[in-house]
Amino acid sequence: KSVQKEAQLVQASKLATLGEMAAGIAHELNQPLNVIKIGSDFLSEMAGNGKSIAEKDLKEVTGEISGQVDRAAAIISHMRDFARIADIEAQEMDLNKPIQDVFKMLGQQLRLREIKWELHIQENLPPIMGDNNRLEQVLINLVTNARDAMEKNPAGAERLLTIHSFTDNNDVVVRVSDTGHGIAANILDRIFEPFFTTKEVGKGTGLGLSISHAIVEDYNGTLTVESTEGAGTTFELRFPVSSRH
Ligand code: ADP
């Protein structure tokens, strides 16, 4: 009986999330559309009146339109990822693999921002059930957020990203820690909400963590956070060791 109740609660919270998502998407797509509308109206009015547009204005307006199209496209691409989450089957995999791949991809970016990183990988991790690409996406989200959190560290403050992987009882655990600005206690429980972002307009979609959370749950894992404002943040991924193992 209690199992059923739990299932109902899960279903109810999924529905609530879908509703929130729909409202969020409408709102998030409306903003770029408004900007595009204003910009294109301006251009067509000038053209219709046979007026010439100063090169500087033309550059600004078309640049703004293009940027807003990118933003809308990023939101749509994230939504597609969301929709696909359940379609991808889990396979036995080594969680160290996506960790290593992420640094092949983002290493250069981190170097450019003078962010150091340390990998403390436990060799021969037991396999978990998951999908390599999806989990790479989760790690990319976590590493990108860590990068963003450290970008504005004052000169002299350490910019260090640390990733640990290890076995804990029957779980495989990955911790991603940064020495960035941290997360204020009053928003800590909101960061997994779709569209919640504290980043400047155009920089964040607020979807990274909610998608990551959904992916991790799909593979029976957990994604949790601990943070000290002004000192840094640690995200923890935890998956049960594959029972086939
Ligand atoms: P986005 O990165 O587009 O804002 P996310 O869902 O990935 O969306 O993150 C939501 C918010 O959580 C961020 O805007 C930021 O406020 C906070 N956050 C996430 N990761 C970190 C981190 N490592 N350090 C500090 N704040 C973080």
Query: Would you say the C-alpha torsion 56, 61, 62, 64 has a positive or negative sign?
Result: positive
Query: CA dist 69 to 34, 65, 72, 122, Å?
Result: 11, 6, 5, 43
To test the ligand 1 pocket, which listed residue (78, 187, 197) has its Cβ within 8 A of the most ligand atoms? 197
Question: For 190-228, how does the pLDDT look when each residue is reduced to its tens digit (9 = 90+)?
Answer: 999 888 899 887 678 888 998 899 899 989 999 999 999
Residue 75: predicted pLDDT: 82
Q: Please name the residue whose Cα sits nearest to atom 23 of ligand 1.
A: 146
Residue 184: predicted pLDDT: 96
Residue 4: predicted pLDDT: 57
CA-based diameter of the chain, in Å?
74
Residue 11: predicted pLDDT: 52
Atom number, ligand 1, closest to the C-alpha of residue 207: 6
Residue 89: predicted pLDDT: 85
Q: Please name the residue whose Cα sits nearest to atom 17 of ligand 1.
A: 191
Residues in the chain: 245
How many angstroms separate the alpha carbon of residue 1 from the centre of ligand 1?
38
Mean pLDDT by 10 residues, the chain (245 residues): 52 58 80 93 91 92 93 82 74 96 88 93 96 92 96 91 97 98 93 88 82 91 96 97 87
Residue 1: predicted pLDDT: 43
pTM value is 0.78
Phi-psi sector, 220: left (phi>0), alpha (psi -120 to 50), beta = left
Q: Is 208 in the pocket of ligand 1 (CB under 6 A)?
A: yes
Residue with tokens 């396999």: 127
Q: Is 128 in the pocket of ligand 1 (CB under 6 A)?
A: no
Q: Please name the residue whose Cα sits nearest to atom 16 of ligand 1.
A: 198
Q: What are phi and psi of 54, to 5 degrees?
A: -60, 140
Enclosing H/E stretch for 238: strand 232-240
How many angstroms separate the alpha carbon of residue 206 from the centre of ligand 1?
7
